[in-house]
Amino acid sequence: MAIDRRDVSGSTGAVASDGAEIAPEVKVADGYWQRTFQSLSNPHFRALWLSMLFMMGGMNMQMVARGLLAWDLTHSYQMMGLISIGFAPPMLLFGMFGGVVADRIDRKRMIQVGQLGMVANAAVIALALYTDTITIWYLFAASIFQGTLFAFLMPARQSIIPSIVGDNLMANALALNGMGMSLMTLGAPAVGGIIYAWAGPAAAYDTILGLNAVSLIFSAMLPSVISAGKHRNVLGDLMDALKYAGRNRTVIGLLLIALGTTMFANAARNFLPAYVDDVFGKTIEAGGPQTVGWLLAVFGGGAFLGSLFIAGLRRGAHRGLWLIGSTLLSGVAVVGLGLAPILASAYVFLFFMGLADAGRRSLNNALLMEVVDDSYRGRISGIWMMNFGFMPIGILLFAQVSDIWDIRIASVVAGAGLLITGAWFLLVDHSIRRL
At residue 183, the pLDDT reads 74
Residue 5 lies in a domain: no
Q: How far apart are CA 146 and CA 59, in angstroms?
A: 10
Whether the Cβ atoms of residue 180 and residue 52 lie closer than 8 Å to each other = yes
At residue 27, the pLDDT reads 65
At residue 282, the pLDDT reads 53
At residue 211, the pLDDT reads 95
Q: How far apart are CA 295 and CA 282, in angstroms?
A: 17
At residue 18, the pLDDT reads 44
Q: What is the average per-residue pLDDT within 350-360?
A: 84
- How confident is the model over 297-349, as pLDDT tens digits? 788 788 778 877 877 776 667 888 888 888 899 999 999 988 887 888 889 99
User: Which uninterrupted H or E stretch holds 81?
Assistant: helix 77-85
Residue 432 lies in a domain: no
Whether the Cβ atoms of residue 306 and residue 358 lie closer than 8 Å to each other = yes
pLDDT score of 253 more than 70: yes
Residue 200 lies in a domain: yes
Q: How far apart are CA 208 and CA 401, in angstroms?
A: 32
pLDDT score of 196 more than 60: yes
Residue 189 lies in a domain: yes
Residue 249 lies in a domain: yes
pLDDT score of 189 more than 90: no
Whether the Cβ atoms of residue 237 and residue 17 lie closer than 8 Å to each other = no
Q: Which of 30, 157, 31, 421 is nearest to 264 (CA)?
A: 421
- The count of structural domains within the chain is 1
Beta bridge partners of 227: 14
Q: How far apart are CA 307 and CA 345, in angstroms?
A: 23
At residue 118, the pLDDT reads 94
Q: What is the average per-residue pLDDT within 167-194?
A: 78
Residues 6+ apart with CB under 8 A from 406: none
Beta bridge partners of 15: 21, 226
- How confident is the model over 129-158, as pLDDT tens digits? 999 999 999 998 998 998 899 888 888 888
CATH number of the structural domain spanning residue 270: 1.20.1250.20
Q: How far apart are CA 90 and CA 409, in angstroms?
A: 30
Q: Which of 342, 378, 362, 402 is nearest to 156 (CA)?
A: 378
At residue 28, the pLDDT reads 62
- How confident is the model over 395-427, as pLDDT tens digits? 778 888 888 888 888 889 889 988 998 888 888
At residue 29, the pLDDT reads 61
pLDDT band, residue 10 (cuts 50/70/90):
very low
**b/e sequence 210-235, b meaning 16+ C-beta within 10 Å:** ebbbbbbebbeebbbbbbbbeeeeee
Per residue, what are the HEC states of 366-393? HHHHHCCCHHHHHHHHHHHHHHHHHHHH
Burial class from Cβ neighbours inside 10 Å (0-12, 13-18, 19+) for residue 360 reads buried
The answer to which of 23-37, 182-196, 246-260 has the lowest mean pLDDT is: 23-37
At residue 288, the pLDDT reads 62
Residue 13 lies in a domain: no
At residue 6, the pLDDT reads 33
Residue 24 lies in a domain: no
Strand 14-16, strand 225-227: pairing = antiparallel
Domain extent for 314: 42-221+237-427
pLDDT band, residue 21 (cuts 50/70/90):
very low
Q: What is the average per-residue pLDDT within 174-202?
A: 81
Q: How far apart are CA 114 and CA 101, in angstroms?
A: 13
Residue 37 lies in a domain: no
- How confident is the model over 45-65, as pLDDT tens digits? 999 999 999 999 998 888 888
